[in-house]
Structure 1
Amino acid sequence: MMILELFNLSEKVAIVTGGGRGLGARIAEAYAEAGANVVVCSRDFPACQEMSEKLKTYGVESLAFECDVTNKEQVENVVNNTFGRFGRIDILVNNSGATWAAPIEDMSYDAWKKVMDVNITGTFLMSQAVGKVMIEQNSGKIINITSIAGFGGTPPYMQATGYNTSKGAVMTFTKDLAVKWGQYNINVNAIAPGFFPTKMSKGLIEKGKETILSRIPMNRLGKDSDIQGVAVFLASSASDYITGDIVTVDGGTHA
């Protein structure tokens, strides 16, 4: 096998949740460029439709769906329609996420529940539905988007304990699922990004960019290609012997 063929995603079928914008959109684009047919879904259906049309310019097929990942029926609709169209699902990226900025002593129960429902329950529901297809076909790659905030306590300027907690839970979910589903030739890994300029992180970066950069050895924020390369690697044959891992993409902050 030629080395670059290890990263070729031609004819693969990928679902990217939260794929209409932000890191999800960048990952979806990378998969399309690598040859995969890509399904994007989120609560923002117009954004997904727009992204789906853009993905088709890479010469691949693409579908867009409205989907609240906390809604089991909507999740199953995405999975059933994807399988009905393509007959297989090779890659799932659980990227949809939510956060809420508030000191823990002031955070409402509803805010806490929203973050947990989207980040944890949504990841579970999508993985469960897609996993049934992957178990049947005896192959698949599941990639969960977590965060370096999930490794432990964060500085006081990051008042997002619910988010941090949920991302730590996703890391444990990733590892346990990798152990359980390795027998079905399903790889389950996670990407833990550091600071990337996205809609979710915009306010925090604007407020504390100098402090944030001082904690990043490479002294810069993440850029699109930083996340795209890792996402393609974990979705491709190049990572066939890697499972249960958390790939940290943070410019060295964790070090």
Structure 2
Amino acid sequence: MSAPSRIFAPGVLEGQVILLSGGGSGLGRAATLELVALGAHVAICGRRIEPLEETVALAGARCSAHVCDIREEQQVDALVDDVLARYGRIDTLVNNAGGQFLAPAEEITPKGFRTVTRLNLDGTWLMTHAVATKAFIPAGDDGRPRGGKVISTTLSPHNGLAGMVHSSAARAGVENMMRELSIEWARFGIKLNAIAAGQFGTDVFMTKYPREMVAAAAGQVPIQRLGRPEEFAWLVAYLASPGGDFFSGSVLTIDGARDNHAGPWPPAVHVDDAGDPLRESRRG
């Protein structure tokens, strides 16, 4: 079973049903374990059943695995119908599935660009639209829309990730999608936010990218370390909890200040012989 939360009160998400994409590894798995520890039922989806089942084995009976390619509209509709049939409701959607490949922009083919934007942007839209129209907008027992929450994972830094133009474009689109829908769908009681995640020390990050890039990653973060997956999970749990009820249309950046500056401060070229930041000479 998932271990108790180190941060939140036991049972703070008791009775909630959360649908989370990309739950088979990395940040998605960490978020799933935290949400289950807080009492939620979490339905996770992904394209391959094996990693999903590994997460379920760690999380326990409150977690269920569902195979779905979020790029395919019919599969997304079937997934949402299946989760509603199983649990009777969906309270929060976590759009965590995504991916990209590292390549210079001039080498990315139109097909490669579409592959990434279709997963990160189109897939997020399909999931968000299906859950909203099937679970959040329909009236509940009181005759009012049930409402719900959408939390979508994007990327930091926001000035673009060199070598990932496709993902940079798609994730910016997701953030603006969440902002726009937070206005349109407020009348249905739907709250939508994005989490812009910096570089985290997940197994996926540590093994997927070139060794030189991984080795230098922490040095690019002002606080000089990678994020821990549980730190991302805590933010997801907070937004899903009552503590997140007044958040909507926000982009919460969790990246150790990487969005503001690359590397430590002061940089080596801006220090004196004692290692202190350089200062202007002032009169008087």
Common fold: TM-score over 0.5? yes
**Greater fraction helix:** 1
1:197 is aligned to 2:201: yes
Report the count of equivalent residues: 246
- Is residue 2:92 matched to residue 1:88? no
Matched to 1:95, the amino acid is N
Q: CA deviation at 1:62?
A: 2.4
What is residue 38 of structure 1 aligned with on the other side?
A: 42
Q: Say whether the 8 Å CA contact 1:32–1:38 is kept in structure 2.
A: yes
Return the alpha-carbon distance in structure 2 between the equivalents of residues 202 and 168 of structure 1: 25
- Point out where structure 2 has 5 or more consecutive residues left out of the alignment: 1-7, 139-144, 261-284
1:134 match: 136
Deviations 1:31-82 (A, max 9, x none): 10010001011001121122223222xxx52221110000111111110011
Paired position in structure 1 for 2:246: 241
- What SS class does the counterpart of residue 137 from structure 2 fall into? helix
Residue 101 of structure 2 is matched in structure 1 by: 100
2:143 aligned with 1:144, yes or no?
Answer: no
Instruction: Map Cα deviations across residues 91-129 of structure 1 (whole Å, 9 max, x no partner).
Output: 111111020211111111111111011000100000011
Match of 1:177 in 2: 181
Q: Distance in 1 between matches of 2:118 and 2:226?
A: 28
Q: Give the SS at the match of 1:247.
A: strand
- Residue 276 (structure 2) aligns with: none
CA shift at 1:140, angstroms? 0.7
Q: 1:180 to 1:153 in 2, by over 3 A?
A: same
The RMSD of aligned alpha carbons is 1.9
* Partner SS for 1:187: strand
SS in 1 for 2:225: coil
Q: Who is 2:280 aligned against?
A: none
Q: Which residue in 2 is equivalent to 1:28?
A: 32
- Counterpart of 2:105 in 1: which secondary structure? coil
Helix, strand or coil at the partner of 1:105: helix
C-alpha distance in 1 between matches for 2:151 and 2:85: 22
Distance 1:18 1:174 in 2: 19
8 Å Cα contact 1:6-1:237 kept in structure 2: no
Residue 118 of structure 1 aligns to which amino acid in structure 2?
L
The corresponding residue for 1:206 is: 211
Deviation of the 1:213 alpha carbon: 2.6
CA contact (8 A) 1:196 1:222 kept: yes
CA contact (8 A) 1:6 1:238 kept: no
Separation in 1, partners of 2:233, 2:52: 18
Greater Cα offset, 210-219 or 81-90: 210-219
| Aligned-residue identity in percent | 29
How do residues 51-66 of structure 1 correspond to structure 2 at under 5 angstroms? 51-56=55-60, 60-66=61-67
CA distance in 1, matches of 2:165, 2:83: 35
